[in-house]
Chain A
C-alpha cells in the first residue's frame, strides 16, 4: 500500500479526486462536484472542543442526578431522572427498548464526551499514540447514536401531555439537559477529525508529520 501526495483528496460522497488547497483560518473546502465539506481550518480546534467537553462532562453529571420533572395529582407526587425513565421501561417489561434508550441517552453521550477529552488531551503533542486513532473511530460511532437533543424534545412533549392531566413542575435536570444539547453541538462543531488524524502515529509505525 503506497500513500499518495498529501494534498490529493477523494470526496467520501462522490469519490472525485481533487487537490486540497491550503485553507485560510475559518474556511472550509467543499467538493467541486457534490458540495460536501472536505475539511475545515478551524482556529482553536484543539482548545475549544476541550473546554466545551469539560463543561459537557459537568453538565452531563448534573443532568443525571437532578430530577427532570415532578408531577402531582390529588396529593400524590412522583418525579423522575433520565435513569428513572430507563428503569421504568425495564420494570414494565419493555426490556429491549429500555436497554436501547439507555444506550442512546446515557452510554453514547457519556462515551462521546470521554472519547473527545481523551483524544484532545493525547494529541496536544504530536505524534499521538495509535489508540487515539482507535478512539476517533469509536467517537464517530458514539456521536451517531447519541440522542440527547431528541430526548429533550421527547421530555418536553410528555411534559405537555401530562400537563393536561396533572400539575407539572420542571426540575433542574431538564435545564441541564437543555444546556448539554448546546454544549454537545458546539463540541462536535468545533472539532476537526482530519486535524487529529494528521497528528496520529500510523498503523505501520511511521509518522509523516502534520503537513497533510
Chain B
C-alpha cells in the first residue's frame, strides 16, 4: 500500500509554472531560476491565500454597484429609461426571448456570484486544512477558470447597443456607470481564480510551514 503520494513539494522539486519543467534547487536558500525558460523557480507563491482573498473581496465590493447602477440608458423622444443588469433580463423576458433572458441571467448574475462563493469556499477549505473532496474541489477550480470570461457578456451587449443605437433624435443608447463596476468584477474574479493555487488543496500542513 502506498502511504502518502509523493508530491513535488515533498521531494523539494520545483515545477515551473511557465514551461512545466521540473528542477531541483541547489539549496533551500537559493531558489534560482528555471533552467529552460528562466522564470523564477518557486515551490509556492508567497501568501497565496491572502492574495486571492484580497481579489475576491475587491470583486465582491464591486458586485453591488455593478448590479444597482444602470449599465445603459435608452433615450427616445418621449422617455429616458435607465436599465440595470436585472432590468435588462426582465426586458428580454418581457419581449418574449426567454432563452436570451436566461443566457444573460446566467452569464451576468449567476456566474459572478457562483465565482465569488466558490472561491470563498475553496479558500476557506484550504485554510481549514480540509483533506476531503480534493478531486471535486480541484475540478470546481478548473470550471471557474473556464466560465469566468462569460460574465463579460453584458459589457459587450452594452458596447454594441451604444455603438448602434445612435439615431438622433428618435432613439439613442448611452452607457451607464454600472458598466465599469461590472467589468471590474469580471477582471478581478478572473485574476482571483488565476491566483488561487489548486496545489494548496492537496498540500499537507507541512508545506505551509507546520508539522502535522
Contact = CB atoms under 8 A, between A and B. Distances in A.
Interface of A: 1-4, 8-10, 12-17, 33-36, 68-69, 71, 73-74, 76, 78-80, 84-89, 92-94, 96-97, 100-101, 104-105, 133, 136-137, 144, 147, 150-151, 153-162, 164-166, 193-194, 197, 200, 202-204, 206
B114 interface: no
What class of interface size applies to chain B in its complex with A? 35 or more
**Top 9 A-B residue pairs of the complex, sorted by shortest distance between their CB atoms:** A154-B156, A203-B38, A88-B163, A80-B163, A10-B8, A85-B163, A15-B7, A10-B15, A85-B159
Contact of B162 (A36, A88, A160): A88
Interface of B: 5-9, 11, 13, 15, 17-26, 32-39, 41, 88, 91-92, 95, 97, 100, 103-104, 107, 134-135, 138-139, 141-142, 149-150, 152-167, 170-171, 174-175, 179-180, 183, 187, 190, 194, 198-199, 201-203
A155 B17 CA distance: 35
Contacts of A35: 135, 139
B95 A92 contact: no
Contact of B180 (A3, A86, A94): A94
Contacts of A203: 33-38
A17 B194 contact: no
A2 B23 contact: yes
A104 B20 CA distance: 26
A198 to B, nearest CB: 9
Contact of A3 (B22, B149, B160): B22
Contacts of B107: 153
A78 B165 contact: yes
B199 A14 contact: yes
Nearest to B38: A203
Given A4-B23, A10-B13, A161-B92, 18 more contacts: A4-B13, A12-B20, A14-B198, A17-B13, A33-B5, A34-B198, A35-B135, A89-B162, A92-B162, A92-B175, A97-B179, A133-B36, A153-B107, A154-B153, A158-B161, A197-B36, A200-B19, A203-B34
A154 B15 contact: no
A13 B199 CA distance: 5
A38 B168 CA distance: 56
Given A14-B134, A15-B199, A35-B135, A3 B161 contact: no
A196 to B, nearest CB: 9
Contacts of B25: 1
Contacts of B150: 150, 153
24 contacts: A1-B26, A10-B7, A10-B8, A12-B17, A17-B13, A68-B160, A71-B164, A71-B165, A88-B162, A93-B175, A94-B180, A100-B183, A101-B155, A137-B39, A153-B156, A155-B156, A156-B100, A159-B160, A160-B92, A165-B171, A166-B167, A166-B171, A202-B35, A202-B37
Contacts, number: 223
Contacts of B198: 13-14, 34
B110 to A, nearest CB: 15
Nearest to B177: A94
B140 to A, nearest CB: 11
A13 B163 contact: no
A61 B22 CA distance: 40
A56 to B, nearest CB: 18
Contact of B20 (A13, A161, A197): A197
A34 B138 contact: yes
Nearest to B104: A157
B11 A1 contact: no
A84 B166 CA distance: 12
